[in-house]
Amino acid sequence: MATPPRSLGKNMSGHILHSDSRNMIFHCYTHWRNREPERSVEDTSKLVADMLGVGERTVFRVREEV
């Protein structure tokens, strides 16, 4: 039996996030960090969380994984 994809918590709607979602969160976060380096890490995390409809804790965990 195949193992299910590794999940990273849930988004605000309660849906489980998988690797594609983690990749999207990470790329979105790095895009905004590079685009607006004057913005703090916390502000960037909040922006990405609001934009993608996930919790700030989820963005933090994605950042910590890398």
Give per-residue pLDDT as tens, 8-66: 555 555 566 677 888 899 999 999 999 999 999 999 999 999 999 888 998 988 888 76
Vertex 61: Cα angle to 32 and 42 (nearest 5):
45
Of 50, 29, 53, nearest to 40 by C-alpha is 29
Q: What is the pLDDT of residue 65?
A: 74
What SS3 state is found at 21? helix
Please, which pLDDT band fits residue 1 given cuts at 50, 70 and 90? Answer: very low
- 5 or 32: whose pLDDT is higher? 32
pTM of the model: 0.71
Determine the longest span between alpha carbons in the chain, in angstroms: 48
